[in-house]
Amino acid sequence: MSAPSATAASTARGPGRVLVAVYAVFALAASARAGVQLVRDWHEAPLAYALSGLAAVVYVVATLALARGWRVVATAAVSVELVGVLVVGAFSLADPAAFPRATVWSAFGQGYGYVPLVLPLLGLLWLRHTRPRPTEPARSTFEPA
Amino acid sequence: MGAWWASPPDGGCRAGAATSLWTVVIPLALTVVILALALAAWAGVFAVRDRAVVLRQLWGAAVVEGALLVQAVVAIVVAVSGTQVHDAVTFWGYVACSLIVLPIAAAWAFAERTRWSSVVLVVAAVTVAFLQWRLLQIWGAA
């Protein structure tokens, strides 16, 4: 996959690099954790562990998309992540019995210092900040011959 | 969930050799945590001052990485000598993760010559320190 320019993709430069780094840490942690849970302890809490698996996939996709500048994929993954943390967070508080084992998104990511809640918000803001603007008001339409 | 700092793990660790290894594990982990947090603070100062990572900080990261390698070797020796960790898959996952975090941050420090490379180094160093805490938890629950 080719980035738009010879250097890093626009979403992976400057502050974006920090975002990609934090996403990468979460992708790694969530994948490892979900892998162990799904393979070994699946029967203990199928719903919670299926959600852990989903969260891991979303983090991996978001990391790759932000790093390579796939804006549409990144926006979709980060949006799914935001919906996931809000829905799972609300349900885990409303009906704790349905989530006997913690997921990354339980209680709005409390177990991870609420980073899972803040990360998608920062991601969407960053994608908005770096969006391509084809018609900039400051740009002159005059083309020298 | 025993208090990992209160006593050495007893499961399979009654042999004298393994107990003396335990006296190595905690000081080593604390050393890594202190070095990693010092590196994070150093990079944090650079981030605040709007400076990119400098080579001397990467040497600092190399020192932390060296301590992590020593720790990985100790972990392998402890495992080979017969001490079982409570959650082996997670444990080795954390060991592997803690080894790759700093090299990636160092590679980015070359690619991103702005203050954001310092912020990435802060994130990486704090991640290493956090992984140490989790490693000790798992190790102590053996």
Give the pLDDT band (50/70/90) at residue B133: confident
A86 in a structural domain: yes
A31 in a structural domain: yes
Instruction: Determine the pLDDT at residue A41.
Output: 79
Cβ contacts of A22 on chain B, cutoff 8 Å: 123
Instruction: Determine the pLDDT at residue B19.
Output: 57
Instruction: Determine the pLDDT at residue A6.
Output: 39
Cβ contacts of B120 on chain A, cutoff 8 Å: 17-18, 21
Cβ-Cβ pairs closer than 8 A, A with B, add up to 42
A39 in a structural domain: yes
Exposure string for B14-26, b = 16+ CB within 10 A, e = fewer: eeeebeebbeebe
* Domain with A31 in it: 11-129
Number of independent structural domains in chain A = 1
**Cα–Cα distance measured from residue B109 to residue A67, given in angstroms and rounded to the nearest whole number:** 15
**Cα–Cα distance measured from residue B58 to residue B44, given in angstroms and rounded to the nearest whole number:** 14
Q: Determine the straight-line distance between the first and last CA of chain A, rounded to whole angstroms.
A: 36
A134 in a structural domain: no
Percent of chain B with pLDDT over 70: 83
Instruction: Determine the pLDDT at residue B20.
Output: 56
Residues of chain A that touch chain B, judged by Cβ-Cβ distance less than 8 Å: 8, 13-18, 21-22, 24-25, 28-29, 32-33, 35-36, 40
Complex ipTM above 0.85? no
Instruction: Determine the pLDDT at residue A2.
Output: 41
Domain assignments of chain B as residue spans, ordered by start: 16-140
- Model confidence pLDDT, tens digit, residues A51-103: 888 999 999 999 999 999 999 999 999 999 999 999 988 988 888 777 767 77
Range B8-28 average pLDDT: 61
Cβ contacts of B119 on chain A, cutoff 8 Å: 15, 17-18
Instruction: Determine the pLDDT at residue B121.
Output: 95
Whether A36 sits inside 8 A of B90 (CB atoms) is: yes
Higher pLDDT, B9 or A40: A40
> In the predicted model, what is the mean pLDDT of chain B?
83
The number of residues in chain A equals 145
- Model confidence pLDDT, tens digit, residues B82-132: 777 777 877 888 888 899 999 999 998 888 899 999 999 999 999 999 999
A138 in a structural domain: no
Residue ranges in B1-142 assigned as alpha helix (H)? 16-48, 55-80, 88-111, 115-140
What are the DSSP calls for A82-135, one per residue? HHHHHHHHHHHHH-GGG-SS--TTGGGGGGGTTHHHHHHHHHHHHHHHT---SS
How is residue B118 written in tokens? 């310092």
Distance of CA B66 to the CA centre of its chain: 10
Instruction: Determine the pLDDT at residue A140.
Output: 52
A2 in a structural domain: no
Instruction: Determine the pLDDT at residue B5.
Output: 44
DSSP class of B6: T
A139 in a structural domain: no
Q: For residue A135, what are the contacts with CB-CB under 8 A and spacing of at least 6?
A: none
**Cα–Cα distance measured from residue A88 to residue A48, given in angstroms and rounded to the nearest whole number:** 9
A4 in a structural domain: no
**Cα–Cα distance measured from residue A86 to residue A91, given in angstroms and rounded to the nearest whole number:** 9
